[in-house]
Amino acid sequence: MYYSTYPKSGILSVGIRREDKNIWERRSPLTPADVKRLIEETGTNVFIQPSKNRIYNDLSYEKAGALVSEDLGVADIILGIKEVPISKIIPDKTYAMFSHTHKVDYELIRDPITKKRLVMFGKYAGYAGMIDGVHGLGQKMLAMGYNSPFIHVGMSHVYPSLDSIKNHLKLVGKLIEENGVPKDFGPVVFTITGSGNVSQGVKEVFECLPHEYIEPKDLESFVKNYDGSFKYLNKVYGVKVNAKDYAYRKSDGAFDYNEYKSNPELYSSNFHEKIAPFTTLLVHGIFWNDKYPKLLTKKQLKKIKQDPKNKYRLITISDISCDIEGSIEFTNKASIIDKPFFYYDSIKDHHHQDKEGVQIMSIDNLPTELPDESSFNFSKLLYPTVLEMVKNNFENEILKNSIITESKKLKSEHSHLYDMLKKIKEDASKIVVIDNSLKKVLLAGSGMVTGPFIKYLEDQGNIEVSIASNNRKEAEDLSSNFKYTKVYDLDANNLESVDRLVSDNDIVVSMLPAPLHPIFAKSAIRHRKNMVTASYISYEMKSLDESAKNNGVTILNEIGLDPGIDHCSAMKIIDNIKDRGGKVKSFISWCGGLPAAENGNNPLGYKFSWSPRGVLTAGLNPAKFLLNKEMIEIKGDDLLERNFKNVPLFKGFSFEGLANRDSLSYIDVYGLNFKDLDSMLRGTLRFKGYSELMNGFSKLGFLDLKPLSENNGSTSFKDGSDFTNYVLGVRYNDYSSVTDAVSKKLGLSKDNRITSLITKSLKSFGLIGDTKDYQSYELTGPTVLDVFGQILQKNLYYTPTERDMVVLNHEFIAEFSSNEYELHSSSLVTYGTLGNSKKKGETAMARTVGIPAAIATKIILEKPTIAKGVIRPTIKEFYLPIMNRLDHLHMNDSIRFVEKVDKYESFGSAKYASIVSKIQ
């Protein structure tokens, strides 16, 4: 409880919050019946915020005498189930909530004499946890290829009441009695840990099935004596396990309960030997802190699963306690009701969402799956305390003991929390915030890369994405693929509208053209919202750094593919080299988004999976890099002509390369030393022939960026023929006339290979009017380059049966003081997915831009203390978790780097083996 001593006498009024921590929170601290009783007994006013998902509707509270009010500022005491977001706290109010801070202020509402807890949800967590565990068991058995009666059990929340669950389980029990459980799994053993409220709820549900209890000491022999007969299969077996059954004193193997409670560090656990290998479903509900031995570690589970005899044992765990990396060490997160299960492969030490490994359910708000019964019980238990609060009797001993803060500061008995807060601030990098509250993400843009972005976040659960776009149809089509999305019209020039969108969300992600990012960044800073973009940091964005820091705002840029995970993979290697006392002598990086080899059969060897304007302008940017100690600068007009003709990264691909902007600017970004470097180059990959042809288009004027009209507006061309005539300055659009124009402009003969290649390409793009490939469509754009981009995009697009690929390759030469040299490589090659006649596949480009941006978004949502300002993912608190989460993606979303290190005795031998000596 959080008590305000703001002077107030007499009867106090009550407000009941609308729960907003996550979409599943439907409980209420007081039922309509208890609200009515409270009003009748005290004459108080009860105000209730309207809610469409609360288990009791607004009308039921109105009938009870409550006043429905959005504004709870009129109430003296505000009640809620879950904690109140800081932004929604009203000053000078007394707040009472059932917040999960029990590791700090463990269960304060107690009888002052018996110390017995007076208000709890534990039994309902037990009910729901057991039901969900049985549901998961049925799914896991099915995934292993076995039908079972358990497949007919749903999640707790699908049933209208606890009674209906119990009745349904009894029907499932009849199927077990008649048909048995799968023979290979027999006997099916449910191990139930603990003896408190949670385990009582678990046992009550378990006993709805045909069952028999086995003593823990008899479990091993019982399972080993299983002979496959039906008498073992027509029921389930329960084992009630407490600390005395697995904990033993390290010194002599004995057990003393009082000593175990006071000095748990003297004890170890043999649960992994006596209980776990003979269990089918583990339902875990024991209190634990880090002084106690773990019930089951990763290493212990691995040993169990390495034994072939245990294939059908310990397949599912319902971890009701949900102590992250605690009693069950491999419970590494709280799962959510939408996605209740995840899996841990102990052999590979890998968590994932597939069906391999041990299934784990670790929902941390289980009682909300039974909102009616849990609210009814909670309200009944809380009512006496609320009554004393309304009577303004805060001297009541139960109330006094339950108050944590008073008059804007911690009470003296809780002042030790200040020390904990100080430690958190001093070592914020080690703090992981486990927060299952609903988070709201504003996604500005609905283009090519946004699908994988939304998909990743939706898979995380409790995240709602609002898509703001100036193309409503595109946004609605995108939204239709997902469950928790909303669509809003976007006018980036309407600052009031932008502010409203930004302020209504927890974080802003801009997938708009880079010039629009500052509009959203400024709004994000005003409203103290964090922001993510995949674009390079522009001068205007960089100028917002100080303002962002002063307002405690993170604006993370350059988190896509390139820039993005190229930074992350590079920094992982660079920091590893530096941490071992080495220095980087050479860094060469190549990246490209290309068609899969079988789909690149067109003049450019290229197809568009992202902005055509971005692709074309990339070939016009000036470049600067260091190669073999020589500083090389290339003007934008010369970039395509001065390409690297051969970049032999992989034998199966024929690559060329273009230098990518100012490589030297990344020397400081990556923390390198210019004096140490022999080579520093970042480049873009294309299939051979691309630069030669694109250079020809450039010289002909097809990449001209001068405005077509005086006011920078768009200019229209009636068709491709009209556009070609404009660019080449010809009157006639026949093949011969165009060939003549190309020949003259390039200063080449008509039969020259380049002349022929360009003319044939223009023909294939439908830009020469007397060919069968001629396409007639209206074209419009502010520059020739923009119109040409439209034409290329209309011709060089991916059909549903084609796929793209992304290639990223880093190579480093490192020098160490012992005159040893290392050649490091980090490579990523990933492909898009094939679609069908109804739906396009997902491009590798969209995935490698969208998913890293989504991962970064999730990290920022999880860790509010993360670095502030306008930054890149080149710091450990970003690049390490990003790389780790990329490694753990589902195989369908694979973005995985392959790293290799070779050692050499000299820099020359390392350089000779590197790409530096091979590029031309």
761-776 burial, b for 16+ CB within 10 Å, e for fewer? Answer: bbbbbbbbbebeebee
In contact, 699 and 606? CB cutoff 8 Å: no
Mapped onto helix, strand or coil, the DSSP state of residue 870 is strand
Cis before residue 384, ω within 30 degrees of 0?
A: no
Instruction: Write phi, then psi, for 540 (nearest 5 degrees).
Output: -65, -40
Rounded to an integer, what distance in angstroms lies between the CA atom of residue 148 and that of residue 141?
Answer: 7
Q: How many CB atoms lie within 10 A of CB 137?
A: 26
CA distance 244 to 266: 14
Distance CA 318, CA 284 (A): 6
> Could you give the CA distance from residue 174 to residue 170 in angstroms, rounded to a whole number?
6
Closest CA to 152 of 178, 128, 171, 127: 171
User: Helix (H, G, I), strand (E, B), or coil: what is residue 196?
Assistant: coil
Between helix 876-887 and helix 844-862 the angle, nearest 10°, is: 130
**HEC string of 281-332?**
EEEECCCCCCCCCCCECHHHHHHHHHCHHHCCCCCEEEECCCCCCCCECCCC
* 168 exposure class (CB count in 10 Å sphere: 0-12, 13-18, 19+): middle
CB distance 738 to 730 below 8 Å: yes
Could you tell me which residues are beta bridge partners of residue 683? 590, 659
562 classed as catalytic: yes
Query: Which H helix or E strand runs over 475?
Result: helix 472-479
CA distance 693 to 757: 7
In whole angstroms, give the CA distance from residue 151 to residue 629: 67
590 Cβ contact partners less than 8 Å away, ≥ 6 residues apart: 647, 649, 655, 657, 683, 684, 685, 807, 808, 809, 915
Rounded Cα–Cα distance for residues 393 and 853 (Å) = 52
34, 132, 319, 562: which is the annotated catalytic residue? 562
Burial classification of residue 362, based on how many CB atoms lie within 10 Å of its CB (0-12 exposed, 13-18 middle, 19 or more buried) = buried
Q: Reduce the DSSP state of residue 780 to 3 states and report it.
A: strand
Number of Cβ within 10 Å of residue 93's Cβ equals 18
Q: Which residues contact 119 (CB under 8 A, 6 or more apart)?
A: 98, 109, 378, 381, 382, 385
Angle, alpha carbons 790-795-799 (nearest 5°): 115
What 3 state SS string does 643-708 have? CECCCCCCCCCCEEEEECCEHHHHHHHCCCCHHHCCEEEEEEEEECCHHHHHHHHHHHCCCCCCEC
Residue 133 corresponds to which amino acid? G
Which residues fall within 8 angstroms of residue 766, CB to CB, at 6 or more apart?
A: 720, 773, 774, 775, 791, 795
Per-residue DSSP letter, 84: P
Active-site residue list? 562
